[in-house]
A and B are shown apart, each in its own frame.
Chain A
Amino acid sequence: MKNVLIIGSGISGLSCAISCAELGMKATILSPYVSERAQSVLAAGGINAVLDHSEDSIESHIEDTLKGGAYIAGTESVKGLCTNAPDVVRWLERLGTVFTRENGEISRRAFGGQSHNRTCYCGAATGKQIVTALTMEARRFEGKGLIRRMIRCDFYSALIKDGRCYGAVVFNENTGKMELIRADALVIAAGGQNALFGKTTGSQLCDGYAAGRLFMQGVDLKNLEFIQYHPTTIKTVHKKMLVSEAARGEGGRLYYLDGDRRVYFMEDKFGPGGNLMPRDIVSKCIYETHKQVYLDVTFLGKETILKKIPEIYELCQKYYGIDISQESIPVDPSVHFFMGGIAVRNNHETNIKDLYAVGECASIYHGANRLGGNSLLAAAYSGRVAAASIAKSAEEKTASDDEFKDELKAAQDVLTNNGGTKDRLTVKYVRDMLAQIMNRELGIVRCEEELKKGIEDIEYYIGVADETVPDDAELPYYTYSLKAILVLAKAVLICAQERRESRGAHLRSDHPETDDGFKAPTIISYDDGRFTVTYDREGRYES
Chain B
Amino acid sequence: MRVRILRQESPDSSPYWQEFTYECSADQTVAGMLEEMNSLDDLKDAEGKKVPHIIWECSCLQGMCGACAMVINGQPALACETFIRNIKGDLITLEPLRKFPTIKDLAVDRSIIQEKLLQENAYIEEYKGSDSKEYDHQYLAGKCLKCGLCLEICPNYKGSRRFYGAAFANDCYLIETRSDVHKKDIKKSYDDHFAAGCSKSLACVDVCPMKIPTLASMAKMNRIK
Contacts and interface: CB of A to CB of B under 8 A. Distances in A.
6 contacts: A37-B67, A39-B60, A41-B64, A136-B171, A139-B114, A140-B125
A137 B124 contact: yes
Interface of A: 33-34, 36-39, 41-42, 93-101, 122-123, 125, 128-129, 132-133, 136-137, 139-140, 142-143, 149, 151, 202-205, 236-239, 241, 315, 318-319, 321, 426, 428-429, 432, 471-474
A38 B145 CA distance: 11
Contacts of B35: 238
B204 to A, nearest CB: 17
Interface stretch (B135-143, B155-163, B188-196, B214-222): B135-143
A38 B65 CA distance: 7
Given A34-B146, A101-B132, A204-B58, A123 B139 contact: yes
B20 to A, nearest CB: 14
Contacts of B123: 136-137, 139-140, 143
Given A36-B146, A96-B179, A139-B114, 13 more contacts: A34-B110, A95-B124, A96-B174, A133-B124, A136-B123, A139-B117, A142-B118, A149-B114, A237-B29, A238-B29, A429-B41, A473-B54, A474-B55
B135 A139 contact: no
A203 B67 CA distance: 11
A204 B54 CA distance: 16
Contact of B59 (A94, A99, A205, A426): A205
Contacts of A143: 118, 121, 123
Interface in B99-143: 104-105, 110-111, 114, 117-118, 121-127, 130, 132, 135, 138-139, 142-143
Given A125-B143, A136-B123, A139-B122, A36 B28 contact: no
Contact of A129 (B28, B59, B62, B139): B139
B138 A98 contact: yes
A128 B27 contact: no
B82 to A, nearest CB: 11
B65 A319 contact: no
A203 B143 contact: no
B57 interface: yes
Contacts of A429: 41
A426 B25 CA distance: 26
B61 A238 contact: yes
B114 A34 contact: yes
Contacts of A38: 59, 65
A361 to B, nearest CB: 16
Contacts of B76: none
B116 to A, nearest CB: 11
A473 B25 CA distance: 25
A488 B138 CA distance: 42
Contacts of B121: 139-140, 143
B135 A100 contact: yes
B62 A319 contact: yes
B27 A204 contact: no
Contact of A428 (B41, B55, B117): B41
A95 B127 contact: yes
A237 B124 contact: no
Contact of A33 (B29, B59, B104): B59
A41 B53 contact: no
Contacts of B178: 96, 98
B196 to A, nearest CB: 23
B144 interface: yes
Contact of B66 (A36, A39, A204): A36
Nearest to B84: A237
Interface string B72-113: 000000001100000000000000000000001100001100
A139 B144 contact: no
A535 B148 CA distance: 49
B32 interface: yes
B135 A101 contact: yes
Interface in B21-54: 25, 27-29, 31-32, 35, 38-39, 41, 52-54
Contacts of A132: 142-144, 174
Given A128-B143, A472-B53, A33 B62 contact: no
Contacts of A426: 41
A151 B111 contact: yes
B65 A98 contact: no
Contacts of A33: 57, 59, 67
A205 B121 CA distance: 29
Contacts of B175: 136
B59 A203 contact: yes
A94 B179 CA distance: 10
B31 A96 contact: no
The 3 closest A-B pairs by CB, nearest first: A238-B32, A96-B124, A473-B52
Contact of A471 (B53, B64, B174): B53
Contacts of A236: 27
A236 B126 CA distance: 41
B60 A203 contact: yes
A429 B39 CA distance: 8
A429 B53 CA distance: 14
> Which residue, B25, B67, B179, has most C-beta atoms of chain A within 10 A?
B67
Contacts of B105: 473
Contacts of B143: 125, 128-129, 132
A38 B132 CA distance: 29
Contacts of B179: 96
Interface string B151-187: 0000000000000000000010011001100000000
> Which residue, A98, A122, A125, A428, has most C-beta atoms of chain B within 10 A?
A98
A454 B144 CA distance: 42
A76 to B, nearest CB: 32
Nearest to A149: B114
A136 B124 contact: yes
Nearest to B113: A34
